Amino acid sequence: MTPSPPTTEAELLARAHGLAGTTLAQLATTLNQTVPQTLHHAKGWPGQLIERALGATAASRPEPDFQLIGVELKTVPVNRLGRPRESTYVCTVALGERDEVHWEDSLVCKKLRRVLWMPLEAEPAIPLAQRRLGAPLLWSPDSEETAVLRRDWEELMELVSLGRLDQISARHGEVLQIRPKAANARALRKTTDENGAPLLTLPRGFYLRSLFTAALLARHFVLS
């Protein structure tokens, strides 16, 4: 049974708190699913399970997961101290766009305007089925966070719009980085180089460094 979409933030947050402490096995049973042995071939499975458990609507579309209330869901894998183990994917980098886009109109800004963070135990030693959800956090970037995100985005997008995508590495960006987002390194797509000539390049995505997610979680939860 899949719940209906929540109609208010309060309703969503209440449901999310209701999931805190439950294991993936419990959640999977409720939703009539089978827990994979490992995440090797099901990397996105917990995220999609939690989406369904909370009544998310925008399956695989560039829309907030909870369209009615404009909230994006992010599952964040945490270690035993509650610190993120991985970076967080935000959205794809639009290739071939030369339009001047302002930060406020960017997909990164829109996606991050309001996020429900669901921590999930991700210690390799804990079997997948036994991993528990943590307490959720409904978050918007504060002015400092917005400033650094914007600065990173503008620096990266300048390179992107100049066609210098292949000169961007994941080392760029203080908290927001660009990394490959593809099935593999041979999954090339058409774009244009700095002179406008056709070029094949790897699809890329924007990611939040785990230092950034660690800091925003720490704003609300005391970490040891």
Interface contacts to DNA, rule CB under 7 A: 38-48, 50-51, 59-62, 65, 72-75, 77, 85-89, 91-92, 107, 120, 122, 124, 169-171, 177, 179-186, 189, 202-203, 205, 209-211
Taking the complex as a whole, the smallest distance from the CB of residue 175 to DNA amounts, in Å, to 11
Q: Which is nearer to DNA, 143 or 163 (CB)?
A: 163
Q: Which is nearer to DNA, 143 or 173 (CB)?
A: 173
Taking the complex as a whole, the smallest distance from the CB of residue 92 to DNA amounts, in Å, to 4
Q: Which is nearer to DNA, 36 or 146 (CB)?
A: 36
User: Alpha carbon 181 to chain centroid distance?
Assistant: 12
Amino acid at 86: E
Q: Which residues contact 187 (CB under 8 A, 6 or more apart)?
A: 202, 203
Taking the complex as a whole, the smallest distance from the CB of residue 219 to DNA amounts, in Å, to 19
Q: Which is nearer to DNA, 150 or 209 (CB)?
A: 209
Taking the complex as a whole, the smallest distance from the CB of residue 218 to DNA amounts, in Å, to 14
Residue 211 to residues 9, 155, 174, 208: CA-CA distances in angstroms? 27, 19, 9, 8
Taking the complex as a whole, the smallest distance from the CB of residue 107 to DNA amounts, in Å, to 7
Q: Which is nearer to DNA, 26 or 33 (CB)?
A: 33
Q: With CA atoms as reference, report the closest residue to 35 among 122, 133, 128, 126.
A: 128
